């Protein structure tokens, strides 16, 4: 069977690199087009680690050129830029998995947090690409909005408890991410000396992933207020999220997780506290829960660049093209 | 004025080392006795960093020997062992600052979490050594129970809101500590490879610092349930604590902190999210707060070995002997 | 074509884990036997990262059981233990790739540095498994002595200059390794606090890899004295080696590397200083050289657990069974 | 005795911050003027760690204003800018300790590596501020050229062997520095992700500290060729330097160090391999040596910002004003 040709638009960043790495090994997709905003050079120039591994040309991203051969494009672009490409590609019958925030929120919420939306038409039909809740919709989608990293870990930790969470009480999410989550931008905040041996919160209760979490939980019958405080870990990759909430009635929190995810191929419920490092390099979300009185504490961990971005995007692409959900999806952690 | 001679019992660990470092520079105390469980060698043998700095003999800890010259002893010992020494030293008229958990809790709570207490008599008179709430009592105390690191950061973040926290709602504390908080013990959990580029929770909702926080907050009119989840940061020292709770009525959270701590010499209220690294090397507790709806998020940071142990112990000793509170107390962070 | 069944003996350590990870994805080998000194449990118990990935039983290593199905065994064992297993397995017609030092040195050198050798017979026929110098011999070998990590990086950096290095002058090797090179042993030296933000040399001019480097270089016509100083990097994996020597006559050091390795599939000569991180996760050895006056500086980098152990072992196995040299050999770095 | 007023010119960088930290605690100097290129704000704005510690105004650096009160200025400026200030300050009778490279080299060497020199007059009278070789000259100097960090560690490791090093053989220096040595500049090279879990050489055999080392060793009767290869460690501060050379005749390398430094207050000769972390926070240079055949390996460690810059500058100032050499000089490492 010949492979399906796909494109990456925005190949210079970390999620772009992860997509390249995954697609070079994929059994059914063929990486056929690598685009950046400027184009130029070859893969080994763009990402020094790929020298001697793959030698494709890097092109200036052009929807028409993509549409000539590719049936799908992954957009690893800043928001706003993403929707321009999505609009153009969809009109040329190229399916899109968008890793930006552009199609994740309702119009109202999007415009409140990100400004004017320029592709309202497709926004309506976009499917939120979390297979654990939208598997069947993703299979039929032309446009998948790939979830944010924090929302992925936070939503997976919370939805198993939808029936139990006490109404009208807040859900607190204390999240911690490695630095690669900030992308490659170079500023004082990412200077090694300012991160190494340091730890801090940022945008507490004001982060743009908060409405994403809140809206998606709403679709899963969790309408509680979401209070989200992200922190920056002095590590390169990985994310660990703590969720605290009150429940009504008697539950066994850990068993609730196990029951909910018993058929989920990429959620591992652990009997002991999850360890971020065990998920780095994979598409797994590891989850653990414990409880005291009426309070439940859930801890979930993902690789922010894979399950929080690129491997989840690829899994969505698998579903969109009828491939096995786990085809080419990484399961083996980098550990040690 | 001749200096007051003091002893360190349990000088081999990290908090013992910090006490040595502080006392070598103190204007009014003289480090006169350095004891370990075995004794032997000199300071530069016990701690290689002290070679060429100080050349005292290291002795096998002996209360009678201590009492010959010293007016105060710092106990940097495991719980249980600490109370044996405290009991003996107090009976010999040596004042004690105990860095263990042995005199921090009520008898009932202690015995529930740590087992039988062997010095109930002194337990009654021990003063909890958090100067922000007990300054006057500490001045008159013979026995000070030095607070735990997590309780220090958690309590300081919470007490300014005593009047505002909504009754009968939980207070959630998501705490993160550097590895030095675990002491020098050598086990798989402290192996570099298992901590580096990793992050995890441990003892969530079951940590022994939870009752300590809860009991002390109770004395400050905060009787809400405390739900405490500690995490291990891949750094050597420093601690950052996030506290989430609901409030009643209108408050300006940041201003509340500023008002409460306007005369506190070792609490710095920051206008921006606190950064762990800015407190490492000092006795400062840096605090920041923000809010949304009826929820307040407080973030506090300390050096777990200094404000969370040794410099706080020294500050208590200053108070016990009528010295300036800040005599010899470090204010200048190690940064960068 | 049915796969060749292989065994791992000593699966609990880091190199054992890497072998498991590689073999689970290999196109021609099937991991059929996973042995440890005690046996018991399943893969996910032995290595928590493998939960949900593979579910094999872990057995108490037994040569006879291995020989029932397996045609090859990888020995990831301490020296001395390795030769016991090698001897038994070879006598049962199981080919062996030994990752220990047991078959790397001449008898004389081995006994000087490691003590008595118990399998002198096989020692004679063992092939040193560095494909860049012994490809054809490895293809015919029943027993391959897989090179040490330091020797791999050091030898590859030096042999291209065999014709140029000035006779009777010393070759200095300043090597730096991540902590995983020390294995899983738990001692004060591997405590996070003692390694984090630290750096130190160890066994300078006295390390047991020095004779290994020296002997192998001798076979490549480099008989200069080798002076080797290893250091411990505060990172988990990766190794960077600096080699300094004097040359006679005019050479272009970088071009010499390029010419020498122009057909080497797993050596990348870089035009700029090599960066350790670009090789971690792969079997590549990246090399760079520069020069001043009659001195050449060569810098080489490998993943100590892969090119320095497990993926190199697998490549040797590929050669021994006539498979493509690069079958299942990782080329894509973990970066970022 | 009233304190001597001093200025810092260039207070915004890491070495400027270290000077501030040291001067705030100095017994005889008073930090009276803090200047930056732009001026504005107060100390706590310039360095967030100093909030609540010191509240001086930060001024736009102006030699005339400095000369009104200060008897000494520390210049923590880029080269070229430094000499402009030095020239102006010296003409106003303000003594200068210059932390830049501007007065360290001979005119010829300076102009070859850094371009035209604009203050040749003072260059002649500048004293190289390494007290171990120039103590008496520093006492009489008006202008001290503070040594570079790499030269400090390299020279101290080498000079004890002046009589023994084999003529006409190269001396190889493999040096490793923490990231703070690069200063605060923000570029891709200092991005956390590019440094964390990484290690690399840079400017091997081409670094501008090589001629500084070579020239100073020449003044100490070591005229061998110097071949210097610096590397970047994934840590914030600290430096470890390995020196390799051949010797003639029989020597005991470690004893040679001990004899040479028996009266040096800030060099510690260690019986075991030096550990970078034991010097961080101090002005100590720790040194260790070992040998094999005719080769000696020396390993030296310093805090690059203190002994490699600011505390060495302060020690020089102590000498220039007749104070005790160790007044206010840090001896207690940050460890753990």
CB pairs under 8 A between B and C: 52
The structure's pTM equals 0.97
pLDDT of residue B246: 98
Q: Which chain B residue has the Cα nearest residue A174?
A: B174
Q: Does B299 touch chain C (CB under 8 A)?
A: no
Average pLDDT over residues A260-282: 98
Given the DSSP bridges, would you call strands A95-98 and A143-145 parallel, antiparallel or unpaired?
A: parallel
CA distance A52 to chain C (A): 7
Yes or no, beta carbons of D333 and B180 under 8 Å apart: no
Q: A115: buried, middle or exposed (CB in 10 Å: 19+, 13-18, 0-12)?
A: exposed
| Interface subset of A 166-195, CB within 8 angstroms of D | 179-180, 184, 186-188, 190-193, 195
pLDDT surpassing 70 at residue D1 = no
Yes or no, beta carbons of D242 and C174 under 8 Å apart: yes
CA distance B237 to chain D (A): 8
Q: Which residue has the tokens 């090994």?
A: A25
pLDDT of residue B1: 67
Q: Three-class SS of residue A62?
A: coil
- 3-state class percentages of chain D: helix first, strand second, coil last, to nearest 5: 35, 25, 40
Yes or no, beta carbons of A198 and B276 under 8 Å apart: yes
Q: Does B242 touch chain A (CB under 8 A)?
A: yes
User: What's the pLDDT band for A249 if we cut at 50, 70, 90?
Assistant: very high
Between the CA of residue A110 and those of A215, A224, B203, what are the distances in Å?
11, 20, 39
Q: Which residues of D touch C277 (CB under 8 A)?
A: 194, 197-199
Chain C adjacent subunits, 3+ CB pairs under 8 A: A, B, D
CA distance A269 to chain B (A): 15
Q: Which residues of D touch A14 (CB under 8 A)?
A: 193
Q: D298 with D312: CB under 8 angstroms?
A: no
Q: Render each residue's pLDDT in chain C as its tens digit; 336 residues.
A: 699 999 999 999 999 999 999 999 999 999 999 999 999 999 999 999 999 999 999 999 999 999 999 999 999 999 999 999 999 999 999 999 999 999 999 999 999 999 999 999 999 999 999 999 999 999 999 999 999 999 999 999 999 999 999 999 999 999 999 999 999 999 999 999 999 999 999 999 999 999 999 999 999 999 999 999 999 999 999 999 999 999 999 999 999 999 999 999 999 999 999 999 999 999 999 999 999 999 999 999 999 999 999 999 999 999 999 999 999 999 999 999
CA distance B317 to chain C (A): 28
Q: Which of B268, B277, B336 sits opposite D51 (nearest CB)?
A: B268
Yes or no, beta carbons of C192 and B197 under 8 Å apart: no
| Interface subset of A 204-233, CB within 8 angstroms of B | 204-206, 225, 227, 229, 231, 233
Yes or no, beta carbons of D331 and B278 under 8 Å apart: no
CA C68 to chain centre: 28
Q: Which long-range contacts (CB under 8 A, 24 or more apart) does B288-292 make?
A: B288/A201, B288/B254, B288/B257, B289/B253, B289/B254, B289/B256, B289/B257, B290/A204, B290/A205, B290/A206, B290/B253, B290/B254, B291/A205, B291/B247, B291/B251, B291/B253, B292/A205, B292/A206, B292/A227
B100 DSSP 8-state letter: S
CA distance D55 to chain C (A): 31
Between the CA of residue B142 and those of A127, A175, B122, B129, D250, what are the distances in Å?
67, 43, 9, 11, 62
Contacts of D5 (CB under 8 A, 6+ apart): D29, D30, D32, D33, D69, D70, D71
Q: Which residue has the tokens 């899994």?
A: A315
Distance CA B66, CA B86 (A): 12
Q: Does D12 touch chain A (CB under 8 A)?
A: no
Yes or no, beta carbons of B231 and A225 under 8 Å apart: no
CA distance B197 to chain A (A): 5
Q: Which residue has the tokens 């032995």?
A: C46
**Mean pLDDT, contiguous 10-residue spans, chain B (336 residues):** 94 98 98 98 97 96 98 98 98 98 97 96 98 98 98 98 98 98 94 98 96 98 98 98 97 98 98 98 98 98 98 98 98 98
pLDDT, one tens digit per residue, over C35-62 is: 999 999 999 999 999 999 999 999 999 9
Contacts of D4 (CB under 8 A, 6+ apart): D28, D29, D30, D71, D72, D321
Beta bridge partners of C30: C5
Q: What angle do CA D51, D52, D58 make, to 5 degrees?
A: 55
pLDDT, one tens digit per residue, over A56-68 is: 999 999 999 999 9
Q: Does B24 touch chain D (CB under 8 A)?
A: yes
Yes or no, beta carbons of B48 and D331 under 8 Å apart: no
Here the ipTM equals 0.97
pLDDT of residue A257: 98
Q: Where are the alpha helices (DSSP H) in A233-284?
A: 253-260
Distance CA B255, CA B250 (A): 12
Q: Which of C179, C187, C197 sits opposite B193 (nearest CB)?
A: C179
Distance CA C72, CA C91 (A): 12
Q: Does C292 touch chain B (CB under 8 A)?
A: no
In degrees and rounded to multiples of 5, residue D301 shows phi and psi of -135, 140
CA distance A45 to chain B (A): 27
Q: Three-class SS of residue A235?
A: coil
Q: Which residues of B touch A231 (CB under 8 A)?
A: 176, 240, 242
Q: What's the N-to-C CA distance of chain D in angstroms?
A: 37
pLDDT, one tens digit per residue, over A301-314 is: 999 999 999 999 99
Count of CA atoms in the C-beta half-sphere (13 A) of B148: 26
Average pLDDT over residues D256-260: 98
Query: Which CATH superfamily hosts domain A4-145+309-320?
Result: NAD(P)-binding Rossmann-like Domain (3.40.50.720)
Q: Which of C48, C277, C334 sits opposite A334 (nearest CB)?
A: C334
Catalytically annotated residue among B99, B144, B149, B320: B149
Q: Which residues of A touch C334 (CB under 8 A)?
A: 281, 334
CATH fold label, D4-146+309-320: Rossmann fold (3.40.50)
Between the CA of residue D192 and those of B97, B237, C175, what are the distances in Å?
41, 19, 23
Q: Three-class SS of residue A87?
A: helix
CB pairs under 8 A between B and D: 58
Yes or no, beta carbons of B14 and D332 under 8 Å apart: no
Yes or no, beta carbons of C297 and D205 under 8 Å apart: yes
pLDDT surpassing 80 at residue D155 = yes
Yes or no, beta carbons of C196 and B193 under 8 Å apart: no
**Residues of D with catalytic roles:** 149
Count of CA atoms in the C-beta half-sphere (13 A) of D38: 6
Q: Is A149 labeled as catalytic in the residue annotation?
A: yes
In degrees and rounded to multiples of 5, residue A283 shows phi and psi of -95, 5
Write the DSSP assignment of C244-265 as a string of letters: EEEB-S---HHHHHHHHTTT-T
CA B335 to chain centre: 21
Distance CA A299, CA A290 (A): 9
Paired tokens of C11: 């699966």
The CATH code that applies to domain C150-302 is: 3.30.360.10
Paired tokens of C120: 């002198």
Q: Does A48 touch chain D (CB under 8 A)?
A: no
pLDDT of residue A35: 98
pLDDT surpassing 80 at residue A24 = yes
Paired tokens of B64: 């009678």
Domain boundaries, chain D: 4-146+309-320, 150-302
- Selected for mutation to probe chain B from C48, C179, C181, C193 (highest B CB count within 10 Å) is C193
Q: Where are the alpha helices (DSSP H) in chain A?
A: 14-24, 43-46, 63-69, 81-91, 107-114, 120-125, 131-140, 149-158, 192-195, 209-219, 253-260, 310-320
Q: Which of A201, A238, A246 sits opposite B273 (nearest CB)?
A: A201
Distance CA B150, CA B161 (A): 18
Beta bridge partners of D245: D296
Catalytically annotated residue among A11, A67, A149, A247: A149
């Amino acid at each position: 069977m010949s492979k399906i040709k796909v494109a990456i638009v925005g190949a210079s960043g970390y999620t772009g690199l992860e997509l390249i790495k995954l697609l070079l090994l994929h059994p059914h997709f063929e990486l056929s087009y690598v685009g950046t905003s400027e184009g130029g050079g070859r893969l080994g120039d763009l990402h020094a680690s790929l020298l001697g591994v793959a030698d494709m040309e890097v092109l200036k991203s052009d929807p028409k050129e993509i549409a000539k051969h590719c049936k799908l494009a992954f957009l690893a672009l800043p928001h706003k830029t993403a929707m321009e490409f999505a609009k153009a590609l969809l009109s040329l019958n190229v399916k899109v998995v968008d890793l930006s925030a552009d199609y994740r929120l309702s119009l109202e919420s999007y415009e409140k947090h990100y400004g004017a939306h320029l592709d309202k038409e497709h926004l309506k039909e976009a499917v939120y690409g979390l297979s654990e809740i939208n598997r069947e919709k993703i299979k039929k989608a032309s446009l998948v909005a790939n979830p944010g990293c924090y929302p992925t870990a936070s939503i997976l930790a919370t939805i198993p408890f939808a029936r139990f969470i006490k109404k009208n009480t807040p859900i607190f999410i204390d999240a911690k991410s490695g630095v690669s989550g900030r992308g490659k931008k170079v500023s004082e905040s990412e200077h090694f000396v300012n991160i190494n041996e340091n730890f801090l919160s940022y945008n507490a209760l004001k982060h743009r992933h908060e409405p994403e979490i809140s809206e998606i939980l709403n679709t899963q019958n969790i309408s509680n207020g979401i209070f989200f405080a992200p922190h920056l870990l002095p590590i390169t990759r990985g994310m660990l999220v703590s969720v605290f909430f009150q429940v009504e009635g008697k539950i066994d929190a850990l068993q609730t997780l196990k029951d909910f995810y018993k058929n989920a191929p990429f959620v591992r419920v652990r009997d002991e506290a999850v360890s971020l490092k065990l998920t780095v390099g994979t598409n797994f979300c590891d989850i653990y829960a414990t409880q005291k009185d009426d309070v439940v504490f859930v801890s979930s961990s993902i690789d922010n660049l894979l399950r929080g971005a690129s491997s989840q995007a690829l899994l969505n692409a698998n579903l969109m093209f009828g491939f096995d959900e786990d085809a080419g999806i990484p399961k083996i952690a980098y550990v040690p």
